[in-house]
Amino acid sequence: GQSLEQPSEVTAVEGAIVQINCTYQTSGFYGLSWYQQHDGGAPTFLSYNALDGLEETGRFSSFLSRSDSYGYLLLQELQMKDSASYFCAVRDANNQGGKLIFGQGTELSVKP
């Protein structure tokens, strides 16, 4: 089967850097994605890693190590508006690559 593990919650202060880890287990693997969800809203796409290494998009970066089945989301220069839940997701290579499963989410609280 497939599973993803990520911490349930993280707290940090404004201006700091925070890293949210994700380990995954799948029978096939296409890539690791990250999504942000504010309370009561719809998840929105942040980043995608298909290959090992770091992808940078503004204040957010995402890293993948396929050999370790591990990735992380790095948020820099934290702002209050970054308080949200963050989900890692994997696309299973089986079933025509259609299956997209999410972790349980990490609730990030940014304090002043």
Instruction: Summarize as ranges the residues that interact with other proteins (CB under 8 A).
Output: 31, 33, 35, 41-45, 48, 50, 87, 89, 91, 95-96, 98-105, 107
Q: In terms of CB distance, is 58 or 98 closer to other proteins?
A: 98
Closer residue to other proteins in complex, CB, 12/43: 43
> Which of 18/89 has CB closer to other proteins?
89
- 80 by DSSP, 3-state: which? helix
Contact of 76 with 17, CB cutoff 8 Å: yes
In whole angstroms, the minimum distance from the beta carbon of 67 to other proteins comes to: 21
| DSSP three-state, residue 95 | helix
Closer to other proteins by Cβ: residue 52 or 77: 52
Q: How far is the CB of 88 from other proteins (least distance, A)?
A: 10
Quick one: CA torsion of 46, 49, 54, 58, rounded to 10 degrees? -20
- The span from the CA of 88 to the CA of 73, in Å, is 9
Min separation Cβ 98 and other proteins, Å: 4
What is d(CA 107, CA 69) in angstroms, rounded to the nearest whole number?
Answer: 22
